Structure 1
């Protein structure tokens, strides 16, 4: 007799960072959302890992889908429900993942409730993003996904030139960095982040919904970067016609956008942006 798969149990669970609420999607039988301290953090469909609910995750996937075909060696800073590793493994069988998540209780919850063990060739390291990266080998990754948040803010120590230099060391010559950052009017933090990224990886692009790009609302910006040229034509075309319609800025357009923005360096007195009250209610 086949072993029955354990069903997730909705509810509230304590984790190191506070409290996680596990919510069932009433529109999709196997859809589940993780909400951390009131902030929606991850969504997975356990029967269809290629279904992506959050707009910014769709943009991350758009960048990944534009990479050359075949399995990827990927590093993920920020674990959550491991939405992107599940997606990659479904689309690119044979891919290998190192997932870095500092909250051991959250990892345990995802493993017990959201079938993390079903994702092939995935290793989780319960460490902070700086410590974990220092231990990774040179030129060992095709893809580096930086999607780490404390609450709704990106840790500043993961946005510095020094950190991006470590990421560049880990990536293979044609490897790609993808960063998720949230920002508000004028995108001041995102611009400085992009300056930090470009100090280590010269070819960069920004993808964002027009309203966020124009500073009309707080939201997520996706940054892609590499030591090699990015597939800008593909990114621009797919961003404009995808489920989440977005603009892609690169080259001179991106340079003009971030003009005057200084890279962030370790020790700089920089505050990561905080979303306005009521954004997630």
Structure 2
């Protein structure tokens, strides 16, 4: 689907019933940020979109993902991005705003949600985005003809109820096969203490990717608070300068751990590919 229109905006308090989830989604104006909107599902805030300034990314974990996208290639070069979990398409809008014309694909399981978002929060003119309805993992096999991607963003995990078929080593291996040699797997992992999901996903990624790093607030690494980690998986050595750049980019404070620094969270076993 190529870009929509910048005209208009959502109706105040627009709502749609999501049959697959058995609850309603609503889109409401952000009263503190003119031109910005909040997507809520079942009364819980899920996404923030600034139509007036799409390079403004409100949530800290999404900002950290956006920062990794920024360092993947020189500025203004297009990025081929696969989004698994569409939400309000905040990152797809960011990529279009920062790297105009980048070819992107978004996979969303809830048909009603994707249609609602596109109706109420249209994409910027010129956006090159293919949207697909389906399960994040099962769609991977049908995306081989779109590969390779520079980045795959997975944003479906939240707490211990994560789908087992997405939280498995095999899923990461299948996703890695769609990445370019220098491409990055970016995973948002929301969790509560003792961070069981975070630990399992970092461990699974370390069996597939040569390099795995985690970004979050420093206190999160103590495993005493609920919050979000951004996991980064690479098939090449960690690029020089990335750590300093990602920490400096914030949001502040941001801590980055990789290699043996992650052993406390991901275990101290094999940290590279199983077949390396």
Superposition TM-score, scaled by structure 2 size? 0.87
RMSD (Å), alpha carbons: 2.4
Q: 1:241 to 1:130 in 2, by over 3 A?
A: closer
User: Mind listing any 5+ residue stretches in structure 1 that lack a counterpart?
Assistant: 264-281
Contact 1:55 1:244 in 2 (8 A): no
3-state SS in 2 of match to 1:253:
helix
Report the equivalent of 1:93.
100
Work out which of the residue numbers 222, 229, 233 in structure 2 matches 1:214: 222
Report the equivalent of 1:171.
179
Find out whether 1:49 has 2:54 as its counterpart. yes
Find out whether 1:30 has 2:35 as its counterpart. yes
Work out which of the residue numbers 19, 24, 31 in structure 1 matches 2:24: 19
What's the CA shift for 1:151? 9.1
Contact 2:260 2:268 in 1 (8 A): no
Superposition TM-score, scaled by structure 1 size? 0.85
Within 5 A, what are the aligned runs for 1:1-281? 5-11=7-13, 12-16=15-19, 17=21, 18-69=23-74, 70-116=77-123, 118=125, 120-137=127-144, 139-149=147-157, 154-231=162-239, 233-240=241-248, 242-259=250-267
In structure 2, C-alpha distance between the alignment counterparts of 1:4 and 1:196, rounded to whole Å: 41
Q: 1:236 to 1:89 in 2, by over 3 A?
A: same
In structure 2, C-alpha distance between the alignment counterparts of 1:121 and 1:255, rounded to whole Å: 40
4+ residue stretches of structure 1 with deviation over 4 A?
149-153, 260-263
